[in-house]
Structure 1
Amino acid sequence: MLPTNHRLRDSADFSAVLRSRRSGRAAGPRLVVTVATSEAESQRVGLVVSKAVGNAVVRNRTKRVLRHRMAALLPSLPDQTDVVVRANPAAGTAAASELRHDLDGLLSAAIKRRR
């Protein structure tokens, strides 16, 4: 579980990350990861899992896998970093190990591309 101070909550915060000129972005068939520098004191993470991913059971499973992996990766993130992870429809049929592998690779690529 992600601690409260490490969560993106407001739509304005999500929009700020997605529209930032100083963001890095990496995309794959199942996930899109966007990383931006923020004014917040700690790293923050937000997940976007729409109904296109699947029914409620599939969406919640996908969110649990992504949330758990991001909680493990928090200590390795640079300070004052916001991350938005968007699940594409293909994420609903992917195994948990595939989602974790995709997230690891895309997160490191997005951090490298950040300006």
Structure 2
Amino acid sequence: MRKEQRVKKNSEFQEVFKKGTSIANRQFVVYRLKKEEQKFFRIGLSVSKKIGNAVVRNQVKRYIRQVFLELKDDVKDQYDYVIIARKPAADMDFHDVKKSLIHVLKKSKVLDSKQHAQFDKRK
């Protein structure tokens, strides 16, 4: 992700929390806020110290960024997204993180639901 594709400032996070909508599953909470003047989407990540040590937190953030990189053509533009990782995310590998994020993004109607059907199959 390029720098201009990230939500970095506290004021930007607060705006998404206050004006945006949220949807969640057990592992992630996704806040979204439509920005008409924006040509691309931006993501902000919040991974609490409750998740684990710095190594674990950074790994979770890398996984989330990689998922958005792989889904960049399918995720709706003109939105700011803030992803909050919950405790179960610490024990997940990349494929589990991807499956969970696809699920929550489809629930929030920002991802094309016809694609990524292979992740809908439950065990």
Q: Report the TM-score, using the length of structure 2 for normalisation.
A: 0.81
Partner of 1:5: 4
Structure 2: how far apart are the matches of 1:78 and 1:99? Answer: 19
Residue in structure 1 matched with residue 17 of structure 2 by the alignment = 18
Deviation at 1:52, TM superposition (A): 0.6
Q: How far is the alpha carbon of 1:74 from its aligned partner? A: 2.1
1:1-115 to structure 2, matched below 5 A, reads: 2-20=1-19, 23-38=20-35, 39-111=37-109
What are structure 2's unaligned runs of at least 5 residues? 111-123
Number of equivalences: 109
> How far apart, CA to CA, are the structure 2 residues paired with 1:67 and 1:79?
16
AA at the equivalent of 2:89: A
TM-superposed CA distance for 1:111, in Å, is 3.0
RMSD after superposition = 1.4
Pick the structure with greater CA Rg.
2
What is the distance in 1 between the residues matched to 2:72 and 2:16?
17
Residue 25 of structure 1: CA displacement?
2.0
Q: Can you list the C-alpha shifts for 1:13-71, whole angstroms capped at 9, x where unaligned?
A: 11111111xx3322111111111102433211111111011011110110110011112
Uncovered stretches (5+) of structure 1, i.e. residues with no partner: none
- Secondary structure at 1:65's aligned position in 2? helix
Q: How far apart, in 1, do the equivalents of 2:26 and 2:104 lie?
A: 11
Q: Structure 1 vs Structure 2: percent identity of aligned residues? A: 29
What secondary structure is seen at the aligned counterpart in 1 of 2:71? Answer: helix
Tell me the TM-score normalized by structure 1.
0.86
Distance 2:7 2:88 in 1: 24
